[in-house]
Amino acid sequence: METLPLQRTVKLPQAELVEAFGQVRIRTYAKPTVPGLKSVSVEPLMFLRSQHLQITAFDTVWMIGYLFKLTPRLPWSGFMKMAMKDDDLHTSRIESLPLINLDPSNPSTIYTAMCFAQEQIEKHGLKVSPE
């Protein structure tokens, strides 16, 4: 695979544009008045018959290896790496996300990151499944 040299940028973006890119509006976390576990409700799980696991051919081949004690028996990640080694995958884009300049263990930092993720999901029309 041939690598091409990176083109040098002659025209630099304006400082205001660069500064505005990495800003995330800080959201302040408000601790709920009800103590943590008292606000959690637990309900029994109900599985529908249509929610059975779907086993693929790769799953079957990997499980047969363990059933017949074939050697070497690879863990799932190693098996998938070998099974997919001929796939030619390319990185389409590398994008840096804005930094939140707060203490990582601060509840407001975590809340801000979660709100930012939710905004990005809505902005790009992504769907999130509860599974």
pLDDT digits (tens, 9 = 90+) for 72-114: 777 877 777 777 776 666 667 777 788 888 899 999 999 999 9
pLDDT at 78: 77
Q: Distance from first CA to last CA of the chain, Å, rounded?
A: 38
Q: Is the pTM here over 0.85, yes or no?
A: no
| Residue type, position 97, single letter | L
Cα separation of 61 and 56, whole Å? 9
Q: How far is Cα 121 from Cα 84, in angstroms, rounded to an integer?
A: 29
pLDDT digits (tens, 9 = 90+) for 112-124: 999 999 998 998 8
What is the per-residue pLDDT for 51?
55
